[in-house]
């Protein structure tokens, strides 16, 4: 239990530091263009005016990250009702992410960001 609490606190600390860096609510969306793991284009222009949650994870095999994705799943109906499009950004290559999600019923879009392109824009 104590280990889980420490992990949770370190995640919250990381998220707090992340939120205080560049992007604030209402800030203009920085320009980017990437493809999701299914080859569909995702651009800042295509997301303009939409509510978007970009959730950054380490890799498809990370147990903490997988747990976090499943926690987000608990809020999937709320996200849908609020019109929030959720993107999970992973450091794993597309093939690994596809293997992870192939047996899951996840309503999110997944982006492989092995070069940390999006992380560097938003962190």
Question: Taking residues 51-66, what's their average pLDDT?
Answer: 89
Q: What pLDDT is attached to residue 71? A: 93
Closest to 29 (Cα-Cα) out of 57, 7, 59, 51: 51
Say yes or no to pLDDT of 32 above 90: yes
Per-residue pLDDT tens for 72-90?
A: 999 999 999 999 999 999 9
- CA nearest to 116, candidates 48, 16, 32, 44: 32
Q: Which of 57-66, 70-79, 91-100 has the lowest mean pLDDT?
A: 57-66
Helix residue ranges per DSSP H, the chain: 2-19, 44-47, 63-73, 76-82, 94-101, 117-122
Q: Report the range of poorest mean pLDDT among 9-13, 24-28, 87-91, 113-117.
A: 9-13
pLDDT digits (tens, 9 = 90+) for 38-56: 999 999 999 988 999 999 9
Residue 21: what pLDDT?
A: 53
At 38, phi and psi to the nearest 5? -100, 5
DSSP character for 103? Answer: T
């Amino acid at each position: 239990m104590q280990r889980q609490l420490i992990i949770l606190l370190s995640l919250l600390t990381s998220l707090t530091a992340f939120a205080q860096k560049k992007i604030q609510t209402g800030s203009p969306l920085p320009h980017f263009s990437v493809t999701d793991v299914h080859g569909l284009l995702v651009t800042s222009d295509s997301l303009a005016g939409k509510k978007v949650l970009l959730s950054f994870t380490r890799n498809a095999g990370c147990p903490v990250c997988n747990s976090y994705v499943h926690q987000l799943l608990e809020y999937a109906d709320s996200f849908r009702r609020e019109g929030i499009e959720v993107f999970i950004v992973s450091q794993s290559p597309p093939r690994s992410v596809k293997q992870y999600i192939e047996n899951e019923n996840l309503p999110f879009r997944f982006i492989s960001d092995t070069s940390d392109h999006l992380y560097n824009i938003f962190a």
